[in-house]
Amino acid sequence: MAKVKATLSSSMKKALDLSSVKFTSQPGTDAFRVQISTTDDDVPLKIWLENKRSKEQWECTVKDVAEHAPRGATYVLPSAVVVTSLLTALSAPTSQANESEKCSVDLKPATNGGVTLVLTMKAFGQLTAEYSFKMTKLEIATTDVLEAKIRDLQEEIAELKEGKLAIAQLPQITQLQTELKELRTNMRSRGYYTGSYH
């Protein structure tokens, strides 16, 4: 079934940490958190995704990019090229993601609650290389869901401080602050949180 979230190797470093990635094969209301951890921008590589709405999480550890090329493919690109293309495609604003791009990425549904992250790279208008990363659904504890909700609230508060949200949403600020205080109180009563109420 699902596996428990693995810990990151100490030699891996976060190469990418995005909080609102959208994929064309997913509902328009779904945004994803994406973290990519690498060893010197190469393999081994760990991909982690979280659906911000459902809080579901998946991950994939890549040790050899050739294992993620289509069966029978007559090509194997250097792993550094695949890693760089994946980072570039994920970092591109959603509005720029279209068929004319040199590289694009999509998240497609798979069996058993899994998903597949598909990287497509194009060169010279005719050549296309595709790499598929089967993401394994992670078992999520209640504390993981609470942490995800706190991340959501912290992001929204940061956006408010930066003035990115419309003034029409000001009544929601009080609601967010109340929910955050209630969540912290709840977590504190269970021994999960020791921070202050700033």
Whether cis (ω within 30° of 0) applies to the bond prior to 44 is yes
The DSSP code sequence of 114-125 is -EEEEEEEEETT
User: In sequence order, what are the beta bridge partners of 35?
Assistant: 17, 48
Q: Measuring CA to CA, which residue among 39, 42, 23 is closest to residue 135?
A: 23
**Maximum CA extent, the chain:** 60
Contact criterion met (CB below 8 Å) for 159 and 173: no
Other CB atoms within a 10 A radius of the CB of residue 23 amount to: 23
CA distances from 153 to 83, 158, 163 (A): 31, 9, 15
Contact criterion met (CB below 8 Å) for 47 and 82: no
pLDDT tens, per residue, the chain with 198 residues:
333 344 445 678 999 999 889 999 998 889 999 999 998 878 899 999 999 999 999 999 999 999 999 888 888 899 999 999 999 999 987 545 444 468 999 999 988 778 999 999 988 777 889 999 999 999 988 888 888 889 888 888 887 777 765 555 667 777 888 888 888 888 888 877 666 555
Coil, strand or helix at 156: helix
Instruction: Find the distance separating the first CA and the last CA of the chain, reported in whole Å.
Output: 40
* pLDDT per residue as tens digits for the range 149-165: 898 888 888 877 777 65
The pLDDT, as a whole number, for residue 22 is 93
CA triple 137-27-176, angle to 5 deg: 85
